[in-house]
């Protein structure tokens, strides 16, 4: 069922949803960033807000597995 998802959903709509989620998550994360005691912050390859926003978008779009969501993102968004 997920294989047909990219035919019914517009790419720009998904990108706009991601942008809105990213701005919301980054604003919320900046407020609690002080309280997070993370080690190895200098080794990160991607910001926390990006990862959280992508994960939330997958859940909002109805993907139940990370593998299916990863394949969709690779094939349709990047």
Structure tokens at 61: 């779009």
Is the pLDDT score of 51 beyond 90? Answer: no
Q: Is the pTM of this model over 0.85?
A: no
Confidence of residue 22 (pLDDT cuts 50, 70, 90): very high
d(C-alpha 40, C-alpha 74), whole Å = 27
Among 23-27, 38-42, 66-70, whose mean pLDDT is lowest? 38-42
What is the residue extent of each domain of the chain?
Answer: 11-36+43-75
The pLDDT of residue 68 is 87
Q: State the pLDDT at residue 34.
A: 66
Question: Helix H segments across 1-78?
Answer: 5-8, 11-32, 48-60, 66-76
Q: Supply the pLDDT for residue 20.
A: 92
Mean pLDDT of the chain: 80
């Amino acid at each position: 069922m997920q294989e047909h998802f990219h035919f019914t959903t517009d790419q720009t709509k998904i990108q706009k949803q991601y942008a809105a989620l990213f701005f919301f998550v980054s604003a919320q994360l900046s407020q609690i960033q002080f309280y997070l005691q993370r080690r190895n912050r200098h080794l990160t390859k991607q910001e926390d807000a990006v990862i959280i926003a992508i994960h939330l978008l997958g859940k909002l779009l109805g993907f139940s597995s990370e593998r299916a969501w990863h394949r969709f993102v690779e094939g349709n968004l990047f």
